[in-house]
Amino acid sequence: MPFCCALQFSLNRSYQSRIYIRRRLSYNSRLRHAQSREDCVETIVPSDAIGWMPSVDQGGASVHNAVVSVLGSRILGGNYAPGDALPREDELCAMLGVSRTSVREAVKVLSAKGLVEARRRAGVRVLPRDNWRLLDPVVLGWHPAIQDDEELVSGLLEARRIFEPAAAELAARRATAADLAEIERAVVGMRDNIPGDLNAVCQADLAFHKGVIAASHNVVLKGLVGMLEAALRATFLVTNPLMEAQSRALSAHVAVLEAIRIRDTAGARAAMNRLLDIAADDLHAKA
């Protein structure tokens, strides 16, 4: 998509070397907070120094989640490359100021996501990237600078090419009046906020694509919405935010809507492919 927005990621490129961890802060260690659209408080902490780790205040499950986020971000960000060993358990405890239990639970989560493998006496090592569950929106959300990961963003766009045109075709066949109203509402939201409110445009754009998938009434495609959201957020960060590009993409969105409205299955598929062509063009221009 040709729009750029920050949805759980930093929009400002000066934040590319930062990661987000959820935790409770003591008064003396309180840092600047950013409020997300879902009202989740995120703590912005620098992560550009090799070997640096933030301490995490005690707080039960929130501590466990914070440790997972910190380690996941450092793996996705390349601080720990495939084949690298993570610091020993006692070192992680000291770095993060957490218990062994929190570290062990975090490693279990990272293992379940395919990022690491824990072996007795061998410690915890980062697995090859092919093992990572990159369709998992949680994993994608750990990436501290996804907009700079050309291979990943290109792969996400290719994945969208596989299922979004099919979803549009099915939507042209199955969409209800309520489905059409939802998709049209998203298009209107995009149109009304160009050029003034880029973030609102991005929200409406995301609603459009989710609406098309919902209108397909395919239970498997609907299960991919989480991955779609992560893919859109990634491509929003790298594609061209210029107003003329937004206007060009708006016309392509309208074409998808109209094809679905008149039950033109082939036209809906073709219109969605053209929309993804715009995203690909902007991605290549960025590169």
**188: phi then psi, degrees, rounded to nearest 5:** -60, -40
Q: What is the predicted pLDDT for the residue at 199? A: 81
**Token representation of residue 51:** 């070997």
Q: What is the predicted pLDDT for the residue at 61? A: 62
**Could you please report the per-residue DSSP string of the chain?**
------SSS-SSGGGTTEEEE-----STT---EEE-TT--EEEEEE--STT--------THHHHHHHHHHHHHHHHTTSS-TTPBPPPHHHHHHHHT--HHHHHHHHHHHHHTTSEEEETTTEEEEPPGGGS-TT-HHHHHT-TTGGG-HHHHHHHHHHHHHHHHHHHHHHHHH--HHHHHHHHHHHHHHHHHTTT-HHHHHHHHHHHHHHHHHHHT-HHHHTTHHHHHHHHHHHHHHS---HHHHHHHHHHHHHHHHHHHTT-HHHHHHHHHHHHHHHHHHHHHH-
Could you identify the residue written with the tokens 């410690």? Answer: 123
17-139 — its CATH code? 1.10.10.10
27: Cβ contacts below 8 Å, ≥ 6 apart: none
Q: What is the predicted pLDDT for the residue at 112? A: 97
Could you tell me if 135 and 225 are in contact, meaning their C-beta atoms sit under 8 angstroms apart? no
Burial class (CB in 10 A: 0-12, 13-18, 19+), 126: buried
Q: What is the predicted pLDDT for the residue at 7? A: 30
Burial class (CB in 10 A: 0-12, 13-18, 19+), 119: exposed
Could you identify the residue written with the tokens 């569950």? Answer: 133
Q: What is the predicted pLDDT for the residue at 116? A: 98
User: Tens of pLDDT along the chain (287 residues)?
Assistant: 443 343 333 333 333 333 333 333 332 333 233 223 333 222 223 333 223 344 454 445 688 889 999 999 999 999 999 999 999 999 999 999 999 999 999 999 999 999 999 998 889 999 999 999 987 888 988 988 877 788 888 888 898 999 999 999 999 999 999 999 999 999 999 999 887 787 888 889 999 999 999 999 999 999 888 777 877 776 666 664 555 567 788 999 999 999 999 999 999 999 999 999 988 887 776 65
Report domain 146-286's class.
Answer: mainly alpha
Closest CA to 146 of 130, 161, 157, 162: 157
231: Cβ contacts below 8 Å, ≥ 6 apart: 140, 156, 157, 159, 160
Q: What is the predicted pLDDT for the residue at 239? A: 60
Per-domain residue ranges of the chain: 17-139, 146-286
